[in-house]
Homo-oligomer: A and B are copies of this chain.
Amino acid sequence: MPLSAYWLRDNCPCTECRDPRNGQKLFQITDLPGDLAIAEQAEEDGVLAVRWSDGHRSRYPVEWLTGTGAGDDRTEQGKRLWEAADFPAGRPGADWDAYLADPAQRTAVLAAVRDVGFAVLRGVPALERQVLEVARDFGYVRETNYGELFDVRVEPDPNNLAFTSAAIAPHTDNPYRDPVPTLQLLHCLRNDATGGDSGLVDGFRAAALLREEAPEDFAVLTGTPVPFAFRDRRSELRAERPLIEVDALGRIREVRFNNRSIGTLRLPAAELDAFYAAYRRFARITLRPELQLTFRLVPGDCLVFDNTRLLHARTAFAQDGHRHLQGCYADLDSLASTLAVLERRAAALDALERMFAGEGLGEYLGEEVTMAEHMLQAGASAEAAGAPAHLVAAALLHDVGHFGGSGLRLMQGQDNRHSHTGADWLARWFGPEVTEPVRLHVAAKRYLCAVEPDYRARLSEASEYTLRVQGGPMDAAEAAAFAALAGAEEAVAVRRWDDQAKVAGAPTPSFAHFRPLLERLMA
């Protein structure tokens, strides 16, 4: 496979090139020599080793070299475009309590917003301002000239059609804003008027239909920046964007559709004719009954939807009852981030579960228990002692740095610094209350050997061996410094559970027993 030299070097994963904590690059592209080339390359054990013309060395997992892109979260690529009949099992969503309690439910709701553009949370307390709490669960409220939130209900002096009882055709909100709020939430507090049902149309689907049925009209709409405007006494918002925005690769990326706030387009008459023909065709597509998913929001429902994709609508309602929604805006990037973190956490727990069930069955450094048994026993001891959740987790995971084959190197007389490796790896998901006792559990052994005369004598043979590799007992100054650490006491506690967890054949709980506790600690 031919490799692009600058690309390969720009992706060097070594800690000199890239901060291991956050993955940020530590050099500028202009720092690389103008004649950069691969001086030497060799593949071994699934790793491509490269020596560069400037002397730098890089190592790349071959698996990474042949990987594909993560995909794009904002364009039509990877999304599920839909029509009304595509939800025979009902609208995607969850009960609010289940959403809060269960990461799998939360993941499903946020993934629905990413993939189909919306989800409905049910049973959200029908309280004023509660919609802000929903938005803050997965992101940040985007404050606008309407305030932090807005009320949709009949108002005595409406400054916007949304605040009257008229029907509203499918549209996106705030097209006159740039950047447009990418996410909208509508929380139903009361809905006992006749009418006032909600409708959603997949604007990406409508745009894709236009592309299929009239590619020249699609080209006109994607190629014509349209001015949108809104003004009242305190604001004068203007944006100039196409009705359908495609990215550099031609993928549908954003739909802005709101006849109410289209301003005056200034083009030669023939181009205006072409634009209006295309615009009218697209508008007619958005009104096709088979595209519109219609439903009724009931108090407690909170609709979350992608305002760059979905058009929302409302049927007229009679003033024979009250209808009150509270809404706010937020952004898709934070929702996507929350979703990615949830997915990453689930993947990490799966990986740990696989480690305990696979590599964990291996011998624990010469003891008569497996690595999995050792760690599960340590976690169980912490739990039995009534330790707080973070110390149960620390005890359970204290030796995770041994995984990945490095335990062997320790037994060959080379300190694998497994306490640090483990703590660093865990820090991707857990806070310092979990990682720091893990980091210090080896130091705690060296400390106890120094301050507790009979402690060393009680060490197992293997532990006595590794003690020497790890630097032997602390001297008095080291021990005093250790004791002064804020985390010393918790590290010593974890160490004692570690030392006890070598009982051959003792019944131990499974990893699954600890998973909910780990899940909560990650959140």
Number of interface residues of A (CB under 8 A): 100
A86: min CB distance to chain B, Å: 24
In the complex the two chains form, is A6's CB within 8 Å of B280's CB? yes
Identify the stretch in A93-101, A236-244, A292-300, A468-476 within 8 Å (CB) of chain B at 4 or more residues.
Answer: A236-244
In the complex the two chains form, is B333's CB within 8 Å of A237's CB? yes
Q: Does A405 contact B (CB under 8 A)?
A: no
A28-B169, A30-B280, A69-B227 known; A21-B336 Cβ under 8 A: no
Partner of A7, one of B1, B232, B272, B333: B272
In the complex the two chains form, is A248's CB within 8 Å of B259's CB? no
Task: Give the oligomeric copy count.
Answer: 2
Contacts of A67 in B (CB 8 A): 264, 266
Contacts of A53 in B (CB 8 A): none
Partner of A280, one of B22, B29, B180, B275: B29
Q: Does A334 contact B (CB under 8 A)?
A: yes
A74-B178, A231-B23, A262-B10 known; A4-B272 Cβ under 8 A: yes
Scan A7-30; emit 1 where CB is below 8 A from any B CB, else 0.
100110000000101111111111
A178-B74, A266-B68 known; A337-B273 Cβ under 8 A: no
Q: Does A455 contact B (CB under 8 A)?
A: no
Query: With the chains together, A230 CA to B19 CA distance in Å?
Result: 11
Q: Does A315 contact B (CB under 8 A)?
A: no
Identify the stretch in A139-147, A374-382, A395-403, A408-416 within 8 Å (CB) of chain B at 4 or more residues.
Answer: A139-147
Query: With the chains together, A74 CA to B170 CA distance in Å?
Result: 27
Contacts of A427 in B (CB 8 A): 233
Scan A404-432; emit 1 where CB is below 8 A from any B CB, else 0.
00000000000000000000000111110
In the complex the two chains form, is B429's CB within 8 Å of A233's CB? yes
Query: With the chains together, A265 CA to B4 CA distance in Å?
Result: 11
Contacts of A73 in B (CB 8 A): 178, 238-240
Q: Does A279 contact B (CB under 8 A)?
A: yes
Q: Does A160 contact B (CB under 8 A)?
A: yes
A425: min CB distance to chain B, Å: 12
Q: Using A2-B269, A179-B182, A242-B248 as known contacts, list a sample of 11 further A-B pairs with CB atoms less than 8 Å apart, ordered by residue number in A.
A: A4-B273, A10-B262, A25-B260, A28-B283, A29-B259, A73-B238, A73-B239, A144-B334, A223-B249, A236-B337, A238-B340
14 contacts between A and B (CB under 8 A): A21-B232, A22-B231, A24-B160, A24-B260, A24-B261, A29-B279, A30-B283, A30-B284, A69-B266, A72-B240, A140-B143, A233-B427, A233-B431, A234-B341
Could you tell me which A residues sit within 8 Å of B by CB distance?
1-7, 10-11, 19, 21-30, 32, 67-70, 72-74, 140-145, 159-161, 169, 177-180, 182, 222-225, 227, 229-242, 245, 247-249, 259-266, 269-270, 272-273, 275-277, 279-280, 283-284, 287, 331-334, 336-337, 340-341, 344, 427-431
The 4 closest A-B pairs by CB, nearest first: A179-B179, A4-B272, A6-B276, A236-B340
